Chains A and B, each alone.
Chain A
Amino acid sequence: MSQATALDGIRVVELSHERCAFAGKLLADMGADVVVVEPPAGSPLRGWGPFVDDAPDPERSLAWWHYNTSKRGIVLDLEDEAGRERLRRLVARADLVLEAEDPGRLAASGLDHADLAHPALIWVSVTPFGRAGPGRADLTTDLTVLAAGGPVWSCGYDDHALPPVRGLGFQGYNTACHYAVMSALTALVARGVSGEGQFVDVSMHAAANVTTEMASYNYLVQGTTVQRQTGRHALETPSLPSQVRCADGRYVNTGVPPRQPREYAGLLAWLEELGVAADFPEAVFLEMGAKRDFVDLSKIGQDDEVTAIFGAGREALNFVASRLSAYDFFVGAQRAGLPVGVIYAPEEAFEDPHFVARGFPTPVEHPEIGRTVRYPGAPYRFEKTPWRIRRRAPRLGEHTDEVLAELDRPDPLG
């Protein structure tokens, strides 16, 4: 018997769509039986690259692979009454429907919540502006969601002649999917008490709007507008740079400058350990900071000694960074008690010894191509109901017969 899962026996029907695929994966990797429904031509996601060996093929789409782990896949032709009837029967014994169709599309086929609901059914709809919202749902992409929803305004460079930047990785979709999963699980916990399912309306635009930290709530509270800055928080007034280029040409984030006496002590000890303290004229101020009981930052600019100590802390980090590789700076500063970070490319983070030691890279068998592929691993470590990729993403229609046969048998879960 396999290990217990948090979503044992929870049946999810997912109508394949780029906007909700990640939510289905998060549920499936925690043990839900997610059946992803594709049209006969296959999900459009199968047309997204990159592809294995750069050879475009619906079974070699790495986007499809990534977003559909642990799911079973079936093909249903919803243009056809026989296909629609199969979907109705599938939903009749499901706990949860996950879909991201443009508002009105399912209703037109008689396949919306109002048509298929049963009392215990939870239905999570992920749409660009919510089911009743204004706006052209059919004209949204990850880019437009993040632009109109706020994140893009806050990201970019000190030089405002450069455009603001949309980070990669489909974060507009990811955020909506996190909210879809939070909603699905909240509704499941509520159903565990009341026995009743319900309809959940997730707005991607709203999700982006409340995932902007100060950009929204500084405006809400004091009516101010943050301005983007290179590699650090967008703020109303400029802050000092926090990204430094190291001796190997790579960048680090030096974080919040040292403020505590123990941080100055750690920094000084590190300079000495590296044998460069003598080359750093302001080392004496670090020593002064280390010996204080308290460095009162509100006195910066007024008290010469406090100003010098704080300045020396910042300068010491820049000084060391110029002499070390980004990785050595990161590890050395952290060991000295300073929260700094190396700016890794995703693949460099993936191969980092910490994440490897924790088993983050997760091998998944792909027998059709005779390869074991390493996937991104668990976002959380559950003691008793571990996250697990149960199987690679389904091939087109791989489980159609299996799932339809289940529908013809009495439901073992009643």
Chain B
Amino acid sequence: MSALGHVRICDFTGQLAGAGATKWLAAFGAEVIRIEDPVKQGTWDILRMMAPYVDERRGVDFGGGFNNHNVEKRGITLNLRTERGKELLAELVKRSDVVAENFAAGVLERMGFGYERMKQLKPDIVYVSNCGFGHTGPYRAFKTWGPIVQAISGLTFSSGLPDQEPAGWGYSYMDHTGAYYMAIAILLALLHKQRTGEGQWVDLSCTEAGLTLHGPALLDWTVNGRPLRRPGSPHANRSEHPAMAPHGIYPARGDDEWVAIACRSDAEWRALAGVVEADWARAARFGTLAGRLEAQDDLDAALAGWTRTRAKADIVAALQAADVPAAPVAKPAERVDHDPATAGFGLWPTATHSKMGAVRVDGLPVHFSKTDWKIERGGPCLGEHTEEVLTGVLGLSADEVAKLRAEGVV
């Protein structure tokens, strides 16, 4: 039995910010039907043809990221420049519970499928749009990618070290998180619909979603007037609140090897000092949290001097054995292929793609006792399920589909 097997989603999403949301729903059994443009070969979603690749083959059916984000979905093509294409989309909307999209604001409306129109077709439709700035406000026409969202919402700035430019996020954290909020929005609207029969529109702005992620820092601004842009700030590897010292990323022996260490209490500090067994660690000025915070630059330098000559794994093992929080800065191979906490959780399932074959993908970091997720089928090739969906969902005959194909409608 699946959690969402009763839900059909008409899915215009792409990239990660949208496709990541419907990936969750599809893995829990929702029938997710991706609609793509046959004329542009689905390349609005640039991940369709981008690296990584399983082998030397290239093209719209070989993007590894696309496969990762679109497992368990079906894919059809519809040419929405044609009247017949629009009619078929209208029929699909009538048979769907949810329409999801992450085009720039207004794009779907210009195609003739704004919310008002969709509501006429299906009065209880749930319509969730996800774009950079939302559908209202002075910047509604502005466009974004993940890194632009992160810049504007303050997340790039808050990831950095003093006297350096912002380090930011080395990936589209807000594409992931935009997708999480989008999945949450779809599920909330489905719950409301389940109980009241009422659909609705949800306008998700990725930059606003990013602004919800600063924790108490924004209240420090609105209540105490303290900005994050101030001398010495941000010092992102430290922990001002809750106050901890030492707290940081320290070098380990080897090439670009690092270890994270945090002492939440004086007891943990004393335990660390016991492992280090050096005079500096016994210094009275480091004996209290206030003292360690006061001399944090010295403390970090001394601790780094100790970690630098030791192997990452040895440091983590020794500190954990002494009940001190410590973790490796894990490289991809270490956490994918040599970490029982991911492999044992079933985090890297193998999905079978029609052309790429068996490929490992990101799984979901949860397990349900009764209706757990399942990832077996890879992302759809362009138009892979056009005939299946047009016949199975819309009731067309195979001959009709062949004719539509010849006419360039699908």
Q: Given the interface contacts A7-B191, A156-B167, A185-B187, does A200 sit within 8 Å of B248 by beta carbon?
A: no
Interchain nearest-CB distance for A194 vs B (Å):
7
Q: How far is the CA of A243 from the CA of B160 in the complex (A)?
A: 13
Question: In the complex, which residues of chain A have a beta carbon less than 8 angstroms from the beta carbon of B359?
Answer: 220-221
Establish whether residues A165 and B345, one from each chain, have CB atoms under 8 Å apart when the complex forms. Answer: no
Establish whether residues B213 and A190, one from each chain, have CB atoms under 8 Å apart when the complex forms. Answer: no
With a 10 A CB-CB cut-off, give which of A187, A256, A371, A375 has the most chain B CB atoms.
Answer: A187
Question: In the complex, which residues of chain B have a beta carbon less than 8 angstroms from the beta carbon of A345?
Answer: 154, 157-158, 227-229
Given contact pairs A150-B335, A341-B148, a sample of 19 additional A-B residue pairs in the complex whose CB atoms are under 8 Å apart: A6-B191, A133-B344, A133-B345, A141-B325, A143-B247, A143-B262, A144-B260, A152-B258, A154-B171, A198-B370, A202-B365, A205-B341, A213-B173, A214-B65, A231-B156, A233-B172, A251-B165, A256-B145, A341-B152
Does A130 sit at the interface, judged by CB under 8 A?
A: yes
Interchain nearest-CB distance for A122 vs B (Å):
9
Q: Which of B152, B173, B248 contacts A342 (CB 8 A)?
A: B152
Q: How far is the CA of A50 from the CA of B239 in the complex (A)?
A: 11
The tally of CB-CB contacts under 8 A between chains A and B is: 523
Does B204 sit at the interface, judged by CB under 8 A?
A: yes
Binds B, one of A167-175, A276-284, A307-315, A400-408: A167-175
Q: How far is the CA of A234 from the CA of B168 in the complex (A)?
A: 11
Establish whether residues B345 and A130, one from each chain, have CB atoms under 8 Å apart when the complex forms. Answer: yes
Q: Given the interface contacts A143-B260, A144-B325, A383-B202, does A213 sit within 8 Å of B185 by beta carbon?
A: no
List A239-290 residues whose CB lies under 8 Å from chain B. Answer: 242-243, 245, 251-253, 255-256
Does B19 sit at the interface, judged by CB under 8 A?
A: no
Q: Which of B172, B195, B200, B211 contacts A383 (CB 8 A)?
A: B200
Q: How far is the CA of A350 from the CA of B46 in the complex (A)?
A: 31
Establish whether residues A147 and B329, one from each chain, have CB atoms under 8 Å apart when the complex forms. Answer: yes
- Top 3 A-B pairs, shortest CB-CB distance: A206-B365, A167-B159, A346-B154
Interchain nearest-CB distance for A6 vs B (Å):
4
Q: How far is the CA of A179 from the CA of B20 in the complex (A)?
A: 12
- How extensive is the interface on chain B, given as a class? 35 or more
Question: In the complex, which residues of chain A have a beta carbon less than 8 angstroms from the beta carbon of B217?
Answer: 168-169, 346-347
Establish whether residues B3 and A50, one from each chain, have CB atoms under 8 Å apart when the complex forms. Answer: no
Q: Would you call the interface of chain A mostly helix, strand, loop, or mixed?
A: mixed
Question: In the complex, which residues of chain B have a beta carbon less than 8 angstroms from the beta carbon of A229?
Answer: 170
Q: Which of B184, B242, B331 contacts A178 (CB 8 A)?
A: B184
Establish whether residues B360 and A220, one from each chain, have CB atoms under 8 Å apart when the complex forms. Answer: yes
With a 10 A CB-CB cut-off, give which of A7, A171, A330 has the most chain B CB atoms.
Answer: A171
Q: How many residues of A contact B (CB 8 A)?
A: 153
Binds B, one of A70-78, A102-110, A352-360: A352-360
Q: Given the interface contacts A62-B216, A65-B219, A373-B222, does A221 sit within 8 Å of B331 by beta carbon?
A: no
Question: In the complex, which residues of chain B have a beta carbon less than 8 angstroms from the beta carbon of A49?
Answer: 216, 240-243
Question: In the complex, which residues of chain B have a beta carbon less than 8 angstroms from the beta carbon of A231?
Answer: 147, 156, 165-168
List B279-321 residues whose CB lies under 8 Å from chain A. Answer: 320
Question: In the complex, which residues of chain B have a beta carbon less than 8 angstroms from the beta carbon of A53?
Answer: 223-224
Question: In the complex, which residues of chain B have a beta carbon less than 8 angstroms from the beta carbon of A157?
Answer: 161, 164, 167
Question: In the complex, which residues of chain B have a beta carbon less than 8 angstroms from the beta carbon of A139?
Answer: 320, 323-326
Does A381 sit at the interface, judged by CB under 8 A?
A: yes
Does B18 sit at the interface, judged by CB under 8 A?
A: no
Does A322 sit at the interface, judged by CB under 8 A?
A: no
Does B392 sit at the interface, judged by CB under 8 A?
A: no
Establish whether residues A350 and B211, one from each chain, have CB atoms under 8 Å apart when the complex forms. Answer: yes
Q: Which of A147, A205, A256, A353 contacts B138 (CB 8 A)?
A: A353
Establish whether residues A232 and B170, one from each chain, have CB atoms under 8 Å apart when the complex forms. Answer: yes
List B135-166 residues whose CB lies under 8 Å from chain A. Answer: 136-139, 141-145, 147-161, 164-166
Q: Given the interface contacts A163-B250, A178-B184, does A206 sit within 8 Å of B64 by beta carbon?
A: no
Establish whether residues A222 and B54, one from each chain, have CB atoms under 8 Å apart when the complex forms. Answer: yes
> Which residue of B has the minimal Cβ distance to A213?
B171
Question: In the complex, which residues of chain A have a beta carbon less than 8 angstroms from the beta carbon of B259?
Answer: 147
